[in-house]
């Protein structure tokens, strides 16, 4: 079996007024949840916050943080992803941790033009459009449903 390079990445589903934010990725030409690679010595929570700030000028905070009694060596509690998968991005794979997010500031969104063609808020009905890949549609729908229950 041939080994494929696998990078650790994060993606975030920011839900606001019943819609989920997706970005139109310049390199891939797809509508996707915002995110990117986890850098060396970076934890996933910090990576998703950084990616949203860099790509969209938005301050966000991960949800689904579970507290475990801080005993022993625990330095920090991290959010639990609502979905994790491995998917191909052509020449390598991504092991992606998907997080539910909330806005943590009042920044106006603007996209990083070198990486993104744009961004848009998608309602559950708009997620059914052909321009949204099936896996993204399913992950975003799961995020919307999970957020309703939270």
Indicate if the pLDDT at residue 2 is higher than 80: no
Higher pLDDT, 2 or 104: 104
Read off the pLDDT of each residue in 32-52 and give the average, rounded to a whole number.
97
> Are residues 121 and 19 in contact, defined by beta-carbon separation less than 8 angstroms?
yes
Residue 92, token pair as written in the block: 């390598």
- Cα gap 31→130, rounded to integer Å: 10
Strands 6-16 and 93-103: parallel
Instruction: Supply the pLDDT for residue 111.
Output: 83
Rounded to two decimals, the pTM is 0.91
Instruction: Supply the pLDDT for residue 43.
Output: 97
**Average pLDDT value over all residues in the chain:** 91
Q: What ranges do the domains of the chain cover?
A: 6-149
Contacts of 103 (CB under 8 A, 6+ apart): 14, 16, 58, 59, 60, 61
Segment 88-128, tens digit of pLDDT: 988 899 999 999 999 998 778 888 888 889 999 999 999 99
Residue 42, token pair as written in the block: 């970076």
Q: Which CATH superfamily is domain 6-149 in?
A: Nucleoside Triphosphate Pyrophosphohydrolase (3.90.79.10)
Segment 51-83, tens digit of pLDDT: 999 999 999 999 987 766 666 788 888 999 999
């Amino acid at each position: 079996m041939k080994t494929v390079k696998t990078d650790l990445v994060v993606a975030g589903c920011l839900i606001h007024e019943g819609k989920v934010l997706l970005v139109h990725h310049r390199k891939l030409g797809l509508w996707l949840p915002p995110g990117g690679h986890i850098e060396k010595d970076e934890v996933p929570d910090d990576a998703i916050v950084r990616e949203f700030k860099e790509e969209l000028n938005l301050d966000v905070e991960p949800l689904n943080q579970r507290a475990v009694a801080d005993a022993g060596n625990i330095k920090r509690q991290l959010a639990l992803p609502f979905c994790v998968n491995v998917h191909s991005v052509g020449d390598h794979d991504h092991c992606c941790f998907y997080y539910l997010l909330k806005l943590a500031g009042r920044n106006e969104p603007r996209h990083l033009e070198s990486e993104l063609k744009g961004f848009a808020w998608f309602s559950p009905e708009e997620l059914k459009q052909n321009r949204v890949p099936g896996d993204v549609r399913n992950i975003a729908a799961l995020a919307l449903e999970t957020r309703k229950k939270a």
